[in-house]
C-alpha cells in the first residue's frame, strides 16, 4: 500500500496541488459503501465505516471517532498520524501542514457543509476526477442489482401519497424541484428496494422530484423490473445515470431545493448561477416516524429475530467447553439461525463478535486472521442484526463465558443500570436525544467511566440500520424525539486489551397515555428487541427494587412472546436463566 501513496503523490505534481482528502464515504455520503467506493480502505488499509485521510506531499493524517481508534491503529499502514476527530479536525490539520499550495477535494464525495469547513481553513482545489480512481486500476465494478418493488403491506403508504406530501413541502418553500441524494430516502419515497450495498437493501441512485409530482430517477433501465415500471406508471421517469449532470443543468424554472448536509457539493457547483433553497432532505423526518403498518411489522420481525438470537445463545452455552467455538463460527451459526425464516434477506451490518480483548474494539469484525477461540473465562460481545422484509433489527448482548470477574460484573451492572434508566424514562414532547443521553451514562460517570460512542441511533424499516435525524448522544442535537421513531439504546464500557461490554435493545417512541395535561404530551420508550440479558453478569445488590422490577418484567415479556415458538429444552433454559 505504501506504493499507492507514492503513486498518489506523483499526481499532486501533475495537478499542481499539495494534498488530497480521502473520506470513507461515497457520492451518496453513505456510511456503508459498495466495494468500488472503498477508496479510503484501498489507500490506507482502514476498513471501518467512518474515517477520513488527508494525504499531503510529505505527511499524512487519519481521523476517526472513538469507536474506531483501536481498529485504526491496528489496520492503518505506516506513515499516518492518527487522531480522534473529537480532538483534531482534518481541516485543522490541513491548515497546519499545508502552508503552500492547494488541498484537492472531490466535490462529489463531500457535502456543502463539509466543504465549507475546509474552505474556511485552507485553499481548496475541486478536482474534476477522483485521484484514487486514477491509480486504482483494478477497482471492483459498480453494483448492478435489480430494483424491486417494496409491497404496501410492509410500506404502509402508497408512493403517490408520499410524493404528494413531498411536493407540498416544495410548494411551501417555493421550490420547483428537489435533488434527492440519499438512496434510502429515494427508496422510501418510491417504495422500492435493491441490493447495491450488501447489508442495506437500497438502490444507489439520485433523483429529481418536481413540484408537479413527476420524478426523474437516474439508473440503468435494465436494472428496473417491469413490475416496478408498471408501479411507477408515468409518475417516475427512468434516465441513464450518465445523463445526471445534463438533467440537473437543464432545470430551468424556479428555485431548486438541496440539502447542504447530504447533497454532494458538485450539485451546488453545477447550480451556482441558479437560486438554491437550502433545506433538510424532505424524506428524512417522515421516513423516521414509522406509520402503523411499519410499527406492526417491526414488532413482528423483532419476535422473529429474538427467536433466532435466543436459540443461538442457548446453543452457545451448550457448545462452549464441548467443541471448538470461535468468533467466526458463532457469527456463522447465528446467521444460520436467522436464515431459517423465509423473510430474512441478510444481515443489517457485519456481525461484531469480539471475545476477550477483541470485545474492547467497539466495531470489531472477526476475520480468519483475528479469529479467537471462545474458551475459558471471558466476555463475548455480540452485536448483530438482520434485514427482514418487515423491518431491520440491531441487538447487542454481552455473554459471560466461564466465570466472570467481580470487576466485569460491576461494570456490566453499571451499564445495565444506565440502559434501564433510559428505557424507563418518561419525557415531554420536544425533548431531544441529547437531553436524555446522560441517563445512560450517569452510573458510569459516577465511577469515573464512560464510552466513546453515541447511546442511540435511528433505525430504518428494511433500510439502513443507522438512520437519522434522531439520535441519543452527547453531541448537540436539536431534533425532538417523536412518536413512532425507532432508536437503539446501547450504553457500553470497554477496557482496552481486556474486554468490552454493551447492552443494546431497539425501542420505539410511544405516547404515555394518562400523563398528558392540556396540550402537553408525554412520551416514553417501548422495547422492541426480545432476547435474554445475561444474569450471570448482574450484581443484584447494585440494583434498586425498581431496576429489578424492570429487568424481571422485560424477561417476562421475552418469555411470553417467544416461548410458544421455542422447543421445550430452550423454553426451560430461557425461564431458568432469566429469573433474578
pLDDT in tens, 502-532: 999 999 999 998 887 778 899 999 999 999 9
Asked whether the predicted pLDDT for residue 460 surpasses 80, the reply is: yes
> Residues with Cβ < 8 Å from 93, sequence gap 6 or more?
54, 61, 63, 81, 83
Look up residue 159 and give its three cell numbers: 408512493
pLDDT tier at 31 (50, 70, 90 boundaries)? confident
pLDDT of residue 58: 94
Asked whether the predicted pLDDT for residue 2 surpasses 90, the reply is: no
DSSP-assigned letter for residue 320: B
CA pair distance 576, 535, nearest whole angstrom:
10
Q: Tens digits of per-residue pLDDT, 150-188?
A: 999 999 999 999 999 999 999 999 999 999 999 999 999
> Residues with Cβ < 8 Å from 413, sequence gap 6 or more?
537, 538, 539, 542, 543
Q: Look up cell 409491497; give the residue.
A: 151
Single pTM value for the model: 0.94
pLDDT tier at 580 (50, 70, 90 boundaries)? confident
For residue 333, say if its preceding peptide bond is cis, omega within 30 degrees of 0: no
pLDDT of residue 7: 95
CA pair distance 293, 308, nearest whole angstrom:
23
Asked whether the predicted pLDDT for residue 45 surpasses 90, the reply is: yes
| E strand segments, 85-205 | 103-105, 124-126, 148-149, 175-180, 192-193
SS3 of residue 125 by DSSP = strand
Pairing of strands 148-149, 124-126: unpaired
**How far separated are the first and last CA of the chain, in Å rounded?**
53
Q: Look up cell 448537540; give the residue.
A: 476
DSSP-derived secondary structure for 383-427: EE-EEETTEE--EEEEEEES---HHHHHHHHHHHHHHHHHHH-EE
pLDDT of residue 67: 87
β-pair partners for 178? 209, 257
| 312: Cα separation from own chain's centroid | 24
Q: Are the beta carbons of 459 and 505 closer than 8 angstroms?
A: no
> Residues with Cβ < 8 Å from 576, sequence gap 6 or more?
none
**Span of 220-234, 258-272, 285-299, 462-476 with lowest mean pLDDT:** 220-234
Q: Are the beta carbons of 315 and 566 closer than 8 angstroms?
A: no
pLDDT of residue 182: 97
Q: What is the chain's alpha carbon radius of gyration, rounded to the nearest angstrom?
A: 24
Element (H, E) at 177: strand 175-180
Element (H, E) at 61: strand 60-64
Percentage of the chain exceeding pLDDT 70: 100
Look up residue 113 and give its three cell numbers: 457543509
pLDDT tier at 217 (50, 70, 90 boundaries)? very high
**Mean pLDDT, all residues of the chain:** 96
Q: Which of 109, 111, 134, 143 is nearest to 36 (CA)?
A: 143
Q: Tens digits of per-residue pLDDT, 434-443?
A: 999 999 999 9
pLDDT tier at 383 (50, 70, 90 boundaries)? very high
Element (H, E) at 73: helix 69-75
Q: Which of 429, 432, 523 is nearest to 469 (CA)?
A: 432
Asked whether the predicted pLDDT for residue 343 surpasses 90, the reply is: yes
**Mean pLDDT over residues 301-306, rounded?**
98
DSSP-derived secondary structure for 282-304: TTHHHHHB--HHHHHHHHHHHHH
pLDDT of residue 515: 85
Asked whether the predicted pLDDT for residue 296 surpasses 90, the reply is: yes
pLDDT tier at 220 (50, 70, 90 boundaries)? very high
β-pair partners for 511? 523
pLDDT tier at 91 (50, 70, 90 boundaries)? very high
pLDDT of residue 253: 83
CA pair distance 281, 439, nearest whole angstrom:
30
pLDDT of residue 82: 96
pLDDT tier at 262 (50, 70, 90 boundaries)? very high
pLDDT tier at 263 (50, 70, 90 boundaries)? very high
DSSP-assigned letter for residue 15: H
Q: Are the beta carbons of 262 and 182 closer than 8 angstroms?
A: yes
pLDDT of residue 99: 86
Q: Are the beta carbons of 220 and 194 closer than 8 angstroms?
A: no
pLDDT of residue 66: 86
CA pair distance 547, 540, nearest whole angstrom:
9
Q: Which of 191, 284, 348, 303 is nearest to 485 (CA)?
A: 284
pLDDT of residue 519: 81
CA pair distance 63, 80, nearest whole angstrom:
10
**Mean pLDDT over residues 256-269, rounded?**
97
Q: Are the beta carbons of 94 and 125 closer than 8 angstroms?
A: no
**Domains of the chain with CATH codes:** 1-126 (3.40.350.10), 148-287 (3.40.350.10), 289-574 (3.90.230.10)
pLDDT of residue 195: 95
Q: Determine if residue 356 is left, alpha or beta; phi over 0 gives left, psi from -120 to 50 gives alpha, anything else beta.
A: left
Amino acid at each position: 500500500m505504501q506504493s499507492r501513496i507514492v503513486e498518489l503523490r506523483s499526481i499532486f505534481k501533475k495537478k499542481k496541488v499539495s494534498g488530497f482528502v480521502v473520506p470513507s464515504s461515497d457520492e451518496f455520503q453513505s456510511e456503508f459503501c459498495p466495494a468500488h467506493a472503498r477508496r479510503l480502505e484501498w489507500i490506507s488499509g482502514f476498513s471501518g465505516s467512518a474515517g477520513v485521510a488527508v494525504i499531503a506531499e510529505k505527511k499524512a493524517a487519519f481521523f476517526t471517532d472513538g469507536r474506531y481508534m483501536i481498529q485504526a491503529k491496528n489496520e492503518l499502514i505506516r506513515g499516518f498520524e492518527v487522531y480522534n476527530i473529537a480532538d483534531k479536525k482534518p481541516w485543522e490539520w490541513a491548515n497546519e501542514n499545508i502552508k503552500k499550495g492547494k488541498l484537492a477535494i472531490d466535490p462529489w464525495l463531500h457535502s456543502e457543509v463539509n466543504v465549507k469547513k475546509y474552505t474556511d481553513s485552507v485553499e481548496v482545489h475541486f478536482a474534476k476526477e477522483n485521484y484514487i480512481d486514477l491509480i486504482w486500476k483494478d477497482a471492483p465494478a459498480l453494483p448492478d442489482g435489480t430494483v424491486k418493488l417494496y409491497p404496501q403491506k410492509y410500506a404502509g403508504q402508497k408512493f403517490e401519497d408520499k410524493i404528494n406530501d413531498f411536493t407540498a413541502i416544495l410548494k411551501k418553500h417555493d421550490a420547483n424541484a428537489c435533488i434527492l441524494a440519499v438512496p434510502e430516502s429515494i427508496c422510501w419515497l418510491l417504495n422500492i428496494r435493491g441490493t447495491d450495498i450488501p447489508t442495506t437493501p437500497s438502490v444507489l441512485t439520485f433523483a429529481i422530484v418536481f413540484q408537479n409530482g413527476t420524478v426523474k430517477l437516474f439508473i440503468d433501465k435494465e436494472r428496473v423490473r417491469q413490475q416496478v415500471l408498471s408501479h411507477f406508471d408515468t409518475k417516475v421517469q427512468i434516465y441513464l445515470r450518465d445523463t445526471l449532470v445534463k438533467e440537473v443543468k437543464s432545470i430551468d424554472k424556479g428555485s431548486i431545493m438541496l440539502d447542504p448536509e447530504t447533497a454532494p457539493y458538485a450539485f451546488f457547483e453545477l447550480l451556482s448561477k441558479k437560486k438554491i433553497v437550502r433545506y433538510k432532505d424532505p424524506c428524512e423526518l417522515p421516513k423516521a416516524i414509522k406509520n402503523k403498518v411499519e410499527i406492526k411489522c417491526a414488532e413482528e420481525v423483532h419476535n422473529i429475530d429474538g427467536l433466532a438470537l435466543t436459540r443461538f445463545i442457548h446453543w452457545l452455552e451448550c457448545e462452549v467447553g464441548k467443541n471448538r467455538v470461535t468468533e467466526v463460527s458463532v457469527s456463522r451459526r447465528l446467521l444460520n439461525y436467522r436464515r431459517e425464516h423465509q423473510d430474512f434477506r441478510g444481515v443489517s451490518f457485519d456481525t461484531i463478535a469480539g471475545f476477550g480483548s477483541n470485545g474492547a474494539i467497539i466495531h470489531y469484525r472477526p476475520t480468519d486472521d483475528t479469529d479467537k477461540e471462545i474458551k475459558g473465562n471471558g466476555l463475548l460481545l455480540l452485536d448483530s442484526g438482520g434485514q427482514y422484509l418487515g423491518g431491520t433489527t440491531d441487538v447487542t448482548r454481552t455473554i459471560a463465558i466461564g466465570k466472570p470477574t467481580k470487576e466485569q460484573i460491576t461494570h456490566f451492572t453499571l451499564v445495565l443500570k444506565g440502559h434501564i434508566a433510559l428505557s424507563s424514562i418518561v419525557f415531554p414532547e420536544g425533548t431531544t436525544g441529547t437531553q436524555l443521553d446522560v441517563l445512560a451514562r450517569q452510573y458510569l460517570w459516577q465511577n469515573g467511566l464512560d464510552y466513546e460512542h453515541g447511546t442511540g441511533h435511528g433505525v430504518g424499516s428494511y433500510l439502513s440500520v443507522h438512520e437519522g435525524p434522531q439520535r441519543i448522544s452527547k453531541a448537540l442535537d436539536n431534533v425532538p424525539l417523536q412518536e413512532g421513531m425507532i432508536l437503539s439504546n446501547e450504553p457500553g464500557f470497554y477496557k482496552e486489551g481486556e474486554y468490552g461490554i454493551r447492552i443494546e435493545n431497539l425501542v420505539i417512541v410511544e405516547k404515555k397515555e394518562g400523563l398528558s395535561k392540556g396540550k402537553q404530551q408525554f412520551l416514553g420508550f417501548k422495547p422492541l428487541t426480545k432476547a435474554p440479558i445475561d444474569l450471570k453478569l448482574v450484581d443484584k445488590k447494585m440494583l434498586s427494587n425498581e431496576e429489578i422490577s424492570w429487568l424481571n418484567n422485560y424477561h417476562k415479556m421475552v418469555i411470553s412472546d417467544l416461548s410458544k415458538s421455542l422447543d421445550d429444552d430452550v423454553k426451560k433454559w430461557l425461564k431458568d436463566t432469566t429469573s433474578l
